[in-house]
Chain A
Amino acid sequence: MVDKTDPQATKRAASRRDFLKAGLLGGAAVAASAGVARAAGEPLITEIQDWNRYLGEGVDVAPYGKPSEFEANVVRRNVPWLTSDPVSSINFTPLHELEGIITPNGLCFERHHGGTAVINPADHRLMINGLVDTPLVFTMEDLKRFPRENRVYFLECAANGGMEWRGSQLNGCQFTHGMIHCVVYTGVPLRYLLEEAGVKTNGKWLLAEGADAAAMTRSIPIEKALDDCLVAFKMNGEALRAEQGYPLRLCVPGWEGNMWVKWLRRLEIGDEPWAQREETSKYTDLLADGKARRHTFVMDVKSVITSPSPQAPVTHGKGPLVISGLAWSGSGTIKRVDVTIDGGRSWQPARIDGPSLPKALHRFYLDINWDGSEMLLQSRAIDDQGLVQPTKNELRAARGENSIYHNNGIQTWHVNTDGVVENVEVS
């Protein structure tokens, strides 16, 4: 079970072998797991360790801190065959390694269409034009003089799970569900900026445009723009990461991640949508009858068990097991999450822990005593609008298999008696 590509795992395995050579395995293992005191004891305790003796690094070694070297495996990953070129591609948040509801900035999945634009904030401008009383241009300095708000929101790509429509395909929660992140944004309510320019009464739609090499554009109904959209310049307290749109991005809470235009440079008001590439040829949902839904903005009620999952197997054997997962809905808060360990024959409510905020990730747990037999794990979210997360078969019955987007079907993980986990589908 040692991953040869992971130096830390190799190191850990090596230290276990040293331990074996010392002839202490049996006793120490029992001591460690059952708490029985032995005279010999576990060397980690009975012998003085290097870190307990020698000095560590000083405070000036890492002015901007990094994760521990033992967490080197906790990284975003790409699926090379998905797209043609990494500069117009996507990578995935390692959900199986994370806890709580906030995604660290460096682990937030990336999706961009012309690479990461690098923009000096002094050179960045935001224009409002179209059906407004006064077209305006703002500098970053101007924007930071408007009243601001802090809000926690998830951002999910509409294609999250898009590779799973035809059946289980990718063996890892990171790949099946990792086109999502959740951070606290600091920004200016979009309505303040629109009111500053004065939206004319026939202004019904807003076009948001990025400054990147794809000049990303999406049409957004004016009601949403005036409701809860933010023009954000901070995430988790620090400046946006370059790959998240530094210095400025749009937040469109609860709606398709593609609409959260990064490197935001222009907002145009119009009386009709613009039918841009990302809302016609892409981000439209082809149905079995050949029709295609457009403007499917809201992200659906959804959940997934992040651990155990294929990349996070059960390594400790039977006994107490923490089943940990995430649930979210673009319509509001999560009211309840149910978990099954028998493939959906019987369910029990999970425990939602931590903040329950609208259009944000929710963390849930089910603490069980695993008897060591096979499990078929699923979670099912119910939001505050009463919407229940559907099964994959229900979605296919309604839409066929070619929709790509908005796959919020219930995920099944098979856990075998060794604790190995696989992405499966069930009857």
Chain B
Amino acid sequence: MLKFPKFAAVAALAFAALASPSLADGDVGAGEKVFKKCAACHAVGDGAKHKVGPELNDVFGRTAGSVDDYKYSKPMMAAGEGGLVWDDTTLTEYLANPKAMVKGTKMAFAGLKKDDEIANVLAYLKSFSESEAASAPAAAETAEAAPVETAEASPAAEAEPVEAMAVETSKGAFGLGRVAMADEIAAWDIDIRPDGTGLPEGKGTVAEGEPLFADNCAVCHGDFGEGAGRWPVLAGGQDTLLKDRPVKTIGSYWPYLSTVFDYVRRAMPFGDARSLSDDDVYALTAYLLYLNDIVDDEDFELSNENFASIRLPNEDNFIPDDRLNEPHYAKGLEPCMTDCKPGPVEITARAQIIDVTPEGEGDENTGGGID
């Protein structure tokens, strides 16, 4: 009972945004073609009977879920009980995305993606609806007009930017999906490349980054990037890459500064991703440069202007995958099958001596980490 007023309001808004006169201006002939997409499940016209979906004669003015001898989904019947009546407004919303409007409807159709298709199919259906005059006030101005005349009405305003783009279908071989809008791409495409491609405008200093780091990062990474527990160490570790326990930090290991900015912006602080402003991320990145002795001035300001000029010390130490040049992968090696070792084989290492297996006695932090 509570559901319908909510989506009625949404429908009205959507309707308003869609340059309302266009809806009544559908073309019956064009609508008949569009209806072929519906005809697998719906019949309309003389002697139309229910198929997978209910017959659609007099659908205009019909309360949703109200045809006695058709078995509707429960949500559709509830929508009707909530006051949903089919008219230009409600059908326009429903046909654009059935499941969004009546969650749980058994109509499997994904929706008509083009406004003119909806207008045309509604014009076609309207020609089979005697009580069309009873439709919503928004459609009243055309209620008296014979359906065939609607084609003569002035074409709908072409200026329907946002909603029209939203339903622009793919031009690909399958015609599936819709065109992504610029704002949508901007919302998700936040990746930064080493050459600075993708950087947003902004700036931040080391000094600005320090309190941000203390508030947002130090709990895991330590006040100076030294890492708490097994959380990643972010600073220090220079000259450890050749040692038994290398400490791989931004300063000692990471090849590119862009990775710092990109990752902080997309995934940090841990558990509250995307909460930092771009300027905050510039300031934190500047502070991390300072912690790694790559800049030494607290007034240093990092921005989209100077970002690409900063190089990390270990950049040149990354090489392509050359595993197949290793001697054990030499081509044509035939593995030994017999007498492969001269004498009895000796055990040189035992897991039970280290004993860090879960459910064992020790739970010491002795192993190499993988995070």
Flag if A127 contacts B184 (CB, 8 Å): yes
Contact with B along A76-99 (1 / 0, CB 8 A): 011111111001111000000000
Nearest B residue (CB) for A347: B337
Kindly list chain B residues whose C-beta atoms are within 8 Å of the C-beta of A390.
326, 328-329
B262 interface residue (CB < 8 Å to A): yes
Known contacts A136-B180, A198-B172, A213-B273; is A265 also within 8 Å of B351 by CB? no
- What are 15 A-B contacts with C-beta separation under 8 Å? A84-B231, A136-B179, A137-B180, A138-B176, A139-B110, A145-B176, A207-B191, A284-B318, A297-B321, A345-B345, A388-B328, A402-B241, A404-B370, A422-B350, A424-B351
A118 interface residue (CB < 8 Å to B): no
Kindly list chain A residues whose C-beta atoms are within 8 Å of the C-beta of B266.
214-215, 217
Identify which of A23-31, A267-275, A319-327 touches chain B.
Answer: A267-275
**B 86-140 contacts with A by CB, 8 A:** 99, 110
A74 interface residue (CB < 8 Å to B): no
A247 interface residue (CB < 8 Å to B): no
Kindly list chain A residues whose C-beta atoms are within 8 Å of the C-beta of B230.
81-84
**B 313-352 contacts with A by CB, 8 A:** 317-323, 326-329, 331-333, 335-341, 345-352
Q: Which residues of A contact B (CB under 8 A)?
A: 5, 77-84, 87-90, 113-114, 122, 127-130, 133-139, 141-143, 145-146, 157, 159, 162-163, 165-172, 175, 192, 195-198, 207, 209, 213-215, 217, 265-266, 268, 270, 272, 274-277, 280-282, 284, 286, 288-298, 300, 310, 338, 342-348, 376, 380, 382, 386-388, 390-391, 394-395, 398-399, 401-402, 404, 406, 414, 422-427
Q: In the bound complex, what is the Cα–Cα distance between A398 and B350 (angstroms)?
A: 23
Flag if B179 contacts A274 (CB, 8 Å): no
Q: Given contacts A163-B370, A169-B354, A196-B176, list 10 more A-B pairs with CB under 8 A.
A: A87-B271, A122-B99, A127-B185, A137-B184, A143-B176, A168-B349, A296-B323, A347-B335, A424-B347, A426-B347
B7 interface residue (CB < 8 Å to A): no
B152 interface residue (CB < 8 Å to A): no
Kindly list chain A residues whose C-beta atoms are within 8 Å of the C-beta of B244.
401-402
B222 interface residue (CB < 8 Å to A): no
Known contacts A114-B270, A390-B328; is A169 also within 8 Å of B356 by CB? yes
Kindly list chain B residues whose C-beta atoms are within 8 Å of the C-beta of A209.
188, 191
Flag if B267 contacts A214 (CB, 8 Å): yes
Nearest A residue (CB) for B192: A274
Flag if B321 contacts A293 (CB, 8 Å): yes
Nearest B residue (CB) for A128: B180
Q: In the bound complex, what is the Cα–Cα distance between A159 and B367 (angstroms)?
A: 13
Known contacts A88-B270, A346-B338, A406-B323; is A266 also within 8 Å of B189 by CB? yes
Contact with A along B257-296 (1 / 0, CB 8 A): 0110011001100110100000000000000000000000
Flag if B337 contacts A346 (CB, 8 Å): yes
Could you say which of A77, A82, A294, A310 has the most chain B C-beta atoms within 10 Å of its C-beta?
A82
Flag if A135 contacts B180 (CB, 8 Å): yes
Kindly list chain B residues whose C-beta atoms are within 8 Å of the C-beta of A129.
180, 185, 188-189
Q: In the bound complex, what is the Cα–Cα distance between A419 and B355 (angstroms)?
A: 19
Flag if A215 contacts B369 (CB, 8 Å): no
Q: In the bound complex, what is the Cα–Cα distance between A336 and B252 (angstroms)?
A: 42
Nearest B residue (CB) for A403: B368
- Count chain B residues whose beta carbon lies closer than 8 angstroms to a beta carbon of A: 89
Flag if A276 contacts B259 (CB, 8 Å): yes
A272–chain B nearest beta-carbon distance, Å: 6
Known contacts A79-B358, A170-B351, A281-B248; is A88 also within 8 Å of B345 by CB? no
Known contacts A127-B185, A129-B180, A280-B254; is A81 also within 8 Å of B328 by CB? no
B307 interface residue (CB < 8 Å to A): no
Q: In the bound complex, what is the Cα–Cα distance between A77 and B359 (angstroms)?
A: 10
B6 interface residue (CB < 8 Å to A): no
B220 interface residue (CB < 8 Å to A): yes
Flag if B256 contacts A275 (CB, 8 Å): yes
Flag if A293 contacts B365 (CB, 8 Å): no
Kindly list chain A residues whose C-beta atoms are within 8 Å of the C-beta of B339.
345-346
Q: In the bound complex, what is the Cα–Cα distance between A210 and B178 (angstroms)?
A: 20
Q: Contact check: which of A122, A157, A275 meets B193 at CB < 8 Å? A: A275
Flag if A275 contacts B337 (CB, 8 Å): no
Kindly list chain A residues whose C-beta atoms are within 8 Å of the C-beta of B322.
293
Known contacts A136-B179, A268-B189; is A276 also within 8 Å of B262 by CB? yes
Q: Contact check: which of A143, A265, A275, A296 meets B255 at CB < 8 Å? A: A275
Kindly list chain A residues whose C-beta atoms are within 8 Å of the C-beta of B193.
270, 272, 274-275
Kindly list chain B residues whose C-beta atoms are within 8 Å of the C-beta of A380.
335
Q: Contact check: which of A78, A82, A281 meets B369 at CB < 8 Å? A: A82
B156–chain A nearest beta-carbon distance, Å: 24
Q: In the bound complex, what is the Cα–Cα distance between A390 and B336 (angstroms)?
A: 12
Q: In the bound complex, what is the Cα–Cα distance between A163 and B231 (angstroms)?
A: 17
Q: In the bound complex, what is the Cα–Cα distance between A251 and B357 (angstroms)?
A: 31
Q: Contact check: which of B179, B229, B323, B333 meets A300 at CB < 8 Å? A: B323
Q: In the bound complex, what is the Cα–Cα distance between A81 and B241 (angstroms)?
A: 23
Known contacts A82-B367, A127-B185, A213-B273; is A113 also within 8 Å of B254 by CB? no
B106–chain A nearest beta-carbon distance, Å: 14
Q: In the bound complex, what is the Cα–Cα distance between A86 and B241 (angstroms)?
A: 28
Flag if A166 contacts B368 (CB, 8 Å): yes
Q: In the bound complex, what is the Cα–Cα distance between A426 and B348 (angstroms)?
A: 5
Flag if A114 contacts B172 (CB, 8 Å): no
Kindly list chain B residues whose C-beta atoms are within 8 Å of the C-beta of A289.
242
A290–chain B nearest beta-carbon distance, Å: 4
Flag if B318 contacts A136 (CB, 8 Å): no
Known contacts A170-B356, A342-B345; is A294 also within 8 Å of B321 by CB? yes
A204–chain B nearest beta-carbon distance, Å: 13
Flag if B348 contacts A425 (CB, 8 Å): yes
Q: In the bound complex, what is the Cα–Cα distance between A82 and B336 (angstroms)?
A: 36
B98–chain A nearest beta-carbon distance, Å: 11
Q: Contact check: which of B179, B345, B370 meets A426 at CB < 8 Å? A: B345
Kindly list chain A residues whose C-beta atoms are within 8 Å of the C-beta of B341.
343-345, 427
Flag if B253 contacts A81 (CB, 8 Å): no
Q: In the bound complex, what is the Cα–Cα distance between A88 and B370 (angstroms)?
A: 11
Flag if B170 contacts A136 (CB, 8 Å): yes
Q: In the bound complex, what is the Cα–Cα distance between A263 and B210 (angstroms)?
A: 34
A348–chain B nearest beta-carbon distance, Å: 8
Closest 10 pairs between A and B when the two form their complex, measured CB to CB: A343-B345, A196-B172, A423-B351, A390-B328, A135-B180, A425-B349, A167-B349, A159-B370, A168-B351, A136-B177
Q: In the bound complex, what is the Cα–Cα distance between A422 and B188 (angstroms)?
A: 49
A273–chain B nearest beta-carbon distance, Å: 8
Known contacts A215-B266, A388-B328; is A275 also within 8 Å of B347 by CB? no
Nearest A residue (CB) for B229: A84
B200 interface residue (CB < 8 Å to A): no
Kindly list chain B residues whose C-beta atoms are within 8 Å of the C-beta of A345.
339-341, 345
